[in-house]
Structure 1
C-alpha cells in the first residue's frame, strides 16, 4: 500500500529540518508551492503543514507563512542508583560509599542514598520508574520482603549487602564473617587464652552475627579449648550481667559480636576495675572509627567496606548495562591488632 501524499510531504520536510536544510526559524514552502511541487491539492499540502504544527515542529504567522520551530533540547534521562542502608547515621556501618562513589561516577550514575524506611510508602513500580537499580543493605532478611519480591518478578537489578536473602534470587556481597569469627578466636588462643567467651549484643542474631559465632565455635573445637559460649548462655549479652558471667567462667579472652558491643564491654570492665588487656583481652568486629579512639585501642576484625561498596557498584552496573545477573561474592576480612589484647 502506497504512502498517503500528505505523509510524503511531512517526511520530506522532517528530513530537511533534521539535516539542517531547514534550520530553526527558516521559512517553509507555502501551501501553494507544496501543491505544485508534489502535484497535489491545496487541501493535501495544508494537511501536511497542520500536522507538523500540531507536533510542535513548525509555527505559523498569519499572512506570512510557516517557519521551523526552535526545538527544545531533549532532556537526557539521568541514570540513578538507589542505595538503602538501615539507618543513615548508624555508626556501626562502614563507609561503603567510599568504594561505591568512584565506580558510579566513572559510569555516570547518580547515587541516591537513604534509609530503608524509604520503601515504606513506595510501590515496586515507583522504584522501577525512578531508578535503574538498587543496592540494599539488609538489616533483617524479612524487611520489605513483599516489595523486594515484586521487584524480582520485574527483573529489576538489586544487589544485597551483608546478608543472603534466601527467598529471593538476588546476588549478595558480604564479608567472610565465619572466617572473621575463627580468626579472632585463633588469635586469642595463640596468645595463650584457653577460656574464650563470645559476647552478643541482642538476643536476635542477624545472619552475619550467626556466621561470626559459628566461626568462633569452629575455632574453639579446632584449638581444643576448654570452654565456649553456648547460645543458651543468657548472661553472654552485653546488657545482661556480663561481668558476672566472665568472672564465674574465669574468662581471659572475649570475641564480641561487633565493635560497639566490645566498646560497651570495655567500659563495663573499667567500672568493675578489670584491667584491659592485663586481665581481659577483647576483640571486636567491623573496625569502626571509634575502635581506634577508645583507650586502650580495640583489636578488631576489619570488614573491607570500601571494597564491598566498589564490588556492589561494579556488579550492579554490569547487570544494568549488560543484563548479566552476577553471582554471590564474599569479601575477605583482616585482623587489626591494637592494645586491647595481650598474651595470657
Structure 2
C-alpha cells in the first residue's frame, strides 16, 4: 500500500479502508486490527497519520483501544461501555437520543481525544458520572470556535444541567462561554483557563511541569535545548509551559537562547492535519537541526510534535538519545502498537476528569468550588533521553 494521489487526506483513506473491512466482517468482532506502526509501514505514512485513523475508528465506536493489548473490533453494546467511555454520541459526537430528565445530565465539549491525551479525561469523567448517578453527553469541536459555540447552544437546547468545556484555541474568546459565566450556568473549563473569565477550571500545573522536565534535561548535562511548539496564540497551557521552560533556565543561571526555539509548527493543530503539513514541519526541523549543531536536546510541547522531532533527528542521521535527547508532554503506553518510549511529563487525566465532573455537580447544587485547580504532572523516564555529549 502506498500514498494516494487523491485529494482525500491519508488518515481518512486509512480510516475508510479499515472501516470497510470491519463492516464487511473481514475483521471479526473482537479481532485485533493493525497497530499504528503496522499501518504507518503499510501505507508509507507517518505514525501521526496512522494514529489519527485509529482514533477516528475509536471515536465511531468501531474499535476499542485496550491499554497493554492493542486495538480490537468493538462490540458496540459491550466493549465500548466496558472501555469507560460510556457517553452518548451520534455520528458527530452528539447525543442521538433525547435526554432523560430523571437524572442529572452534563454536556462535555472537547476539541478531540486520542490515546496520547484526552481518552483518560473521558474515562475519569465517565467513572465520576457513574459514581454520582449522572449522564454525560459528548460533542467534539476539533478546535473550531464556531463548532464550540454551536455545541454549547445545542447542548443547552437539549436541556443539560451543566457543562464541561475543553476550549478551542485560546486566541478565540467564545461569546457563548461568556454568556454562561454571566448567567451563572454550572460550567467547568478543562485543560486551560480563559483570561478575564471568572469560570471554574481544572488543568495541569503546566508551568511547574515544564520546569521539572527542563530541570531533568539540565541534570543530564543539556544546556542547548530547543523548545518545540505551535504558535502560542494566547493559549494558557502553551504559555504556561513556555514560562516554566524559561523559569528553569533562570533558576539554573542558564541563558535562554530563543534562537534555538521552533514555535511555528502547525501540522498538529486542528484543521491543519495532513501529510503535506506534516512533511513541511519535519523539513523545518531538519533544517533547524542542521543549522544549529549545538542543540543536544529537544523539548516538545506535545506528543505529536515529539514524533515529528524524532523523524527529523533520524533524517539528519543523529541517534536518540546518544546524540540528541527528546522530552515531551504525554505519551501513549508503549505496549500499544509498539510505540516508542518517550521521556514525558504525564498529566493526571483521569483525576482531572473526575474533579471536573464533581465540581460541576457541586456548582449545580449551589456550592462554591475553587476558581482554578491545578494538578501535578509526573516525569516518566523513557528511552528518548540520555546524558549530553561532552
TM-score (normalizing by structure 2): 0.62
Does residue 243 of the first structure (1) align with residue 268 of the second (2)?
Answer: no
Secondary structure of the equivalent of 1:95?
helix
Return closer, same or farther for 1:188/1:327 CA change in 2, 3 Å cut-off: same
Alignment partner for residue 241 of structure 2, among 212, 227, 235? 212
Q: Which moved more, 1:333-342 or 1:288-297?
A: 288-297
Does residue 322 of the first structure (1) align with residue 366 of the second (2)?
Answer: yes
Q: Tell me which residue corresponds to 1:147.
A: 176
Work out whether residues 128 and 156 of structure 1, in 8 Å CA contact, stay in contact via their aligned partners in 2. no
Q: Tell me which residue corresponds to 1:134.
A: 163
Task: Count residues in correspondence.
Answer: 270
Q: Which moved more, 1:168-177 or 1:82-91?
A: 82-91
Secondary structure of the equivalent of 1:335?
strand
Q: Tell me which residue corresponds to 1:303.
A: 347
Give the whole-Å Cα distance in 2 for the aligned partners of 1:89 and 1:80: 24
Work out whether residues 256 and 262 of structure 1, in 8 Å CA contact, stay in contact via their aligned partners in 2. yes
Work out whether residues 192 and 201 of structure 2, in 8 Å CA contact, stay in contact via their aligned partners in 1. yes
Q: Tell me which residue corresponds to 1:229.
A: 258
Tell me the CA shift for residue 129 of structure 1.
5.7
Work out whether residues 99 and 310 of structure 1, in 8 Å CA contact, stay in contact via their aligned partners in 2. yes
Q: Tell me which residue corresponds to 2:220.
A: 191
Tell me the CA shift for residue 322 of structure 1.
3.5
Alignment partner for residue 375 of structure 2, among 326, 331, 342? 331
Which runs of 5 or more structure 2 residues have no equivalent in the other structure? 1-99, 267-280
Q: Tell me which residue corresponds to 2:97.
A: none
Return closer, same or farther for 1:205/1:143 CA change in 2, 3 Å cut-off: closer
Return closer, same or farther for 1:294/1:214 CA change in 2, 3 Å cut-off: farther
Measured on the aligned residues, the alpha-carbon RMSD in Å equals 2.9
Secondary structure of the equivalent of 2:202?
strand
Work out whether residues 213 and 345 of structure 2, in 8 Å CA contact, stay in contact via their aligned partners in 1. yes
Does residue 165 of the first structure (1) align with residue 190 of the second (2)?
Answer: no
Which runs of 5 or more structure 1 residues have no equivalent in the other structure? 1-74
What per-residue deviation string (whole Å, max 9, x for no partner) do you get for residues 4-56 of structure 1? xxxxxxxxxxxxxxxxxxxxxxxxxxxxxxxxxxxxxxxxxxxxxxxxxxxxx
Does residue 178 of the first structure (1) align with residue 207 of the second (2)?
Answer: yes
Does residue 287 of the first structure (1) align with residue 355 of the second (2)?
Answer: no
Tell me the CA shift for residue 88 of structure 1.
5.2
Q: Tell me which residue corresponds to 2:105.
A: 80
Work out whether residues 258 and 285 of structure 1, in 8 Å CA contact, stay in contact via their aligned partners in 2. yes
Work out whether residues 84 and 115 of structure 1, in 8 Å CA contact, stay in contact via their aligned partners in 2. yes
